Structure 1
Amino acid sequence: MNSKILGIVLIVVGVALAYWGYGVYDSASAQVTRAISGDTPVEAYAGMVGGAIAVLVGLLKVK
């Protein structure tokens, strides 16, 4: 597979993953949990950080 195509796919998947992670972070159940206990769901951080890493790797592959 061409490196540029793989980079573009990683960018698209990374953006989608980060968007999903933010959706989990901003959900009503997460807001209630944060208000009561102060904890944030691990899925939110995993999605946002994983998405950011995928986008960065994708950008390096496109260069």
Structure 2
Amino acid sequence: MRSSSRLVRPRHPLFWLLVALQVLSGVFALVLTQAEPAVAVAVLLSALLVANASVSALIVWRLWREPD
């Protein structure tokens, strides 16, 4: 089993990109749940959330694969 320490690498730029994407995902989710945006905005934010999650999953996969 792979260790989560392979993900937490502050000197790796992908780690910080992953952190930024997770913060952005939280902001999108907060806007969707608290602000009750118009339907078009909600659809756009939902699509951005799916894209954000996909990119984040690829970054996690790449960080796990790369040697320390």
Please, what TM-score do these two structures have when normalized by structure 2? Answer: 0.51
Which residue number in structure 2 is paired with residue 9 of structure 1? Answer: 13
Q: Which runs of 5 or more residues in structure 2 are unaligned?
A: 1-10
Q: Which runs of 5 or more residues in structure 1 are unaligned?
A: 1-6
Check 1:46–1:22 CA distance in 2 against 1; reply closer, same or farther (3 A cut): farther
Distance in 1 separating the partners of 2:14 and 2:22:
12
Higher relative contact order (CA 8 A, sep 6+): 1
Offset at residue 17 of structure 1 (A): 1.0
Aligned residues between the structures: 55
Which contiguous aligned blocks of 4+ residues in structure 1 show a shift greater than 4 angstroms?
none
Offset at residue 46 of structure 1 (A): 1.5
Please, what TM-score do these two structures have when normalized by structure 1? Answer: 0.54
Q: Secondary structure at the match of 1:54?
A: helix
Q: What is the percentage of aligned positions where both structures have the same residue?
A: 13
Offset at residue 49 of structure 1 (A): 2.7
Offset at residue 18 of structure 1 (A): 2.2
